Amino acid sequence: MPSAGLLSLILAVLQRDVIASLRRGSEWSNPLVFYVMVCALFPLGIGPQPERLAELAPGILWVVALLASLLATDSLFRGDFDDGTLEQMLLTHQSLYPQVLAKTLAHWMMTGLPLSVLSPILGVLLQLPPAGMLPLMASLVLGTMVLSFIGAIGAALTVGLRKGGLLLSLIVLPLYIPVLIFGSSVVKTAIDGGPYMPQLAMLAVFFLVALALSPLAICGALRISVDQ
Amino acid sequence: MAAPGLQVNQLFSERDDRVLFSDLCFQLNAGQLVQIAGPNGSGKTSLLRILAGLSSRYEGEVLWQGKSLQRHRHDYLSQLLYIGHGAGIKAVLSPLENLRWSCALRGMSHCDTSIMAALDKVGLRGFEEQACHSLSAGQQRRVNLARLFCIPASLWVLDEPFTAIDQRGVAEIEQWLADFVHDGGAVLLTTHHSLNFSHEFTILNLGDYANA
């Protein structure tokens, strides 16, 4: 039963990573605290006028979510690399693809998902009109998932370097830009009362492509990083 | 005659323009143990990483049962159990959770009974649910070594298995190795400790191959 085996492998990796991340705490709380703090600072910085804030809100919420996601990316494979468990992942006769897929999903559940769930509250803080709330959440759920997959490629490429932080940002930021453009456009269009489904569908396309292809790149990058 | 287990032909590796070893040839068959010796920095870990298939920084040939390692990676990995010099466990997880994950990576599910038996064997009964960071260094090493008993394999590649293990534990591990070799397993290990081993075994001194 290869399919049942694959599913139990994915579940085991998901469970392990989520438990480890919850116990460590900083992994899921740092991006979240960053997101809340920066979004809370914007009204203080640019003044409390509701019209001006509402105009800027989609962009602010999306840019800060993107940076928060970037902040968390470096730790994706770092811990496993340092304690030698990454070698165990590479040295099984089972495919690396489902393991990497599960690890990236676990990472998203600990970073992107909480950001998306919390975003309406910060939307209220930034005077985002109610029509934009649901599109904001939907675009963030899809978008942060894409960001996690792209970030995982960068993290896998730089995990072997002692100081890969800056390099990681340089690698992944250009790839983040299309996601940002379509993501904030979803929210803006929704506020203006226009049809936002096309942009959301575009994000879904990004997600499906990333889901299918990025694990291949991540597997290759991990093998290169460990090969030293 | 069956094909030899692991066969290494004219292996050459260098690091930062320094030759670690060249012209290295040896064989490891079922029921044998090879100890790799040599001073610090002589390339013991590099050799083990090459033989485990983690590193490709070498020239020469590595065969598993007469077949090239790269092309028959899947067969080889299903037989290999590699314990590196790293911790090999997640400190925030308990021994039980760590080993469950290790077993799942090998395609084994519902193996709690064998994990408990393995932890019992390495002397960690009663510590199953405790987070690994609250265990001592030697106990953490034992958690990693417990993988030897819950994951079936025919080749053990062990990098410094005796690190942080107490004297009685070292004798215990030597006994485990002897039992495994007796049952037809093959062991490749590095250690600075002089092995007290009941069977015959080969010592491969990497220092001899450094300037060939």
Q: Give the model confidence (pLDDT) of A94-146 as tens digits.
A: 889 999 999 999 999 999 999 999 999 999 999 999 999 999 999 999 999 99
**Would you say residue B138 lies in a domain?**
no
Task: Take residue B98 and report the two structure tokens written for it.
Answer: 């760590």
Question: In this predicted structure, what is the pLDDT of residue A202?
Answer: 96
- Spatial distance between the Cα atoms of A2 and A93, rounded to a whole number of angstroms: 13
CA distance A16 to chain B (A): 7
> Residue B33's domain spans which residues?
6-91+154-209
Q: Sort out which chain A residues have CB atoms less than 8 A from B85's CB and list them.
A: 84
Task: Take residue B42 and report the two structure tokens written for it.
Answer: 């002589």
Task: Take residue A151 and report the two structure tokens written for it.
Answer: 């970030």
- The verdict on A110 touching B (C-beta cutoff 8 Å) is no
Question: Where along chain A do its domains lie?
Answer: 24-226
CA distance A64 to chain B (A): 30
- Contact between B122 and B89 under an 8 Å Cβ cutoff? The reply is no
Indicate the SS3 state at residue A153. helix
The answer on pLDDT for A217 being more than 70 is: yes
Reported as a single tens digit per residue, the pLDDT across B53-112 is 888 889 998 998 888 888 888 889 999 999 988 888 999 999 999 999 999 988 887 788
Question: For the residues A206-220, what does the mean pLDDT come to?
Answer: 96
Asked whether the beta carbons of residue B77 and residue A5 sit closer than 8 angstroms, the reply is no
**Would you say residue B136 lies in a domain?**
no
Asked whether the beta carbons of residue A92 and residue B85 sit closer than 8 angstroms, the reply is no
**A193 — phi, psi (to 5°)?**
85, 10
Q: Which helix (H) or strand (E) holds A218?
A: helix A197-226
Beta bridge partners of B34: B188, B202
Query: Side chain identity at A64, as an amino acid letter?
Result: V
**Would you say residue B192 lies in a domain?**
yes
Least CA distance to B97: which residue of chain A? Answer: A16
- Spatial distance between the Cα atoms of B148 and A142, rounded to a whole number of angstroms: 42
Say which of B56, B88, B106 has its CB closest to residue A84.
Answer: B88
- Contact between A113 and A144 under an 8 Å Cβ cutoff? The reply is yes
Question: In this predicted structure, what is the pLDDT of residue B128?
Answer: 87
- Spatial distance between the Cα atoms of A130 and A120, rounded to a whole number of angstroms: 9
Asked whether the beta carbons of residue A12 and residue B85 sit closer than 8 angstroms, the reply is no
Indicate the SS3 state at residue A195. coil
The number of angstroms, rounded, from the C-alpha of A20 to the middle of its chain's C-alpha atoms is 18
- Spatial distance between the Cα atoms of A195 and A63, rounded to a whole number of angstroms: 22
Question: In this predicted structure, what is the pLDDT of residue A212?
Answer: 95
Interface test with B, best of A10, A75, A93 (most B CBs within 10 A): A93
Question: For the residues B113-133, what does the mean pLDDT come to?
Answer: 90
The answer on pLDDT for B21 being more than 80 is: yes
Q: What is the mean pLDDT of chain B?
A: 88
The answer on pLDDT for B2 being more than 60 is: no
Reported as a single tens digit per residue, the pLDDT across A150-183 is 999 999 999 988 887 789 999 999 999 999 999 9
- The verdict on B91 touching A (C-beta cutoff 8 Å) is yes
CATH of the domain at B161: 3.40.50.300
Residue A4 confidence class, pLDDT cut points 50, 70, 90: low
C-alpha distances in Å from residue B27, one per residue of A174, B4, B22, B51:
50, 7, 16, 12
Question: In this predicted structure, what is the pLDDT of residue B1?
Answer: 42
Residue A3 confidence class, pLDDT cut points 50, 70, 90: low
- Contact between B62 and B8 under an 8 Å Cβ cutoff? The reply is yes
- The verdict on A220 touching B (C-beta cutoff 8 Å) is no
Domain count, chain B: 1
Least CA distance to B49: which residue of chain A? Answer: A227
The answer on pLDDT for A2 being more than 60 is: no
**Would you say residue B27 lies in a domain?**
yes
Q: Which residues of chain A from 21 to 50 reach within 8 Å of chain B, CB to CB?
A: 23-24
- Contact between A183 and A202 under an 8 Å Cβ cutoff? The reply is no
Q: What is the mean pLDDT of chain A?
A: 92
**Would you say residue B194 lies in a domain?**
yes
Interface test with A, best of B58, B79, B90 (most A CBs within 10 A): B90
Least CA distance to A19: which residue of chain B? Answer: B93
Question: In this predicted structure, what is the pLDDT of residue A1?
Answer: 38
**Would you say residue B14 lies in a domain?**
yes
- Spatial distance between the Cα atoms of B75 and B5, rounded to a whole number of angstroms: 12
**Would you say residue B83 lies in a domain?**
yes
- The verdict on B133 touching A (C-beta cutoff 8 Å) is no
Question: For the residues A191-218, what does the mean pLDDT come to?
Answer: 95
- Spatial distance between the Cα atoms of B80 and B54, rounded to a whole number of angstroms: 12
Question: In this predicted structure, what is the pLDDT of residue B211?
Answer: 67
Q: Sort out which chain B residues have CB atoms less than 8 A from A89's CB and list them.
A: 105
- The verdict on A98 touching B (C-beta cutoff 8 Å) is no
**Would you say residue B108 lies in a domain?**
no
The answer on pLDDT for B212 being more than 80 is: no
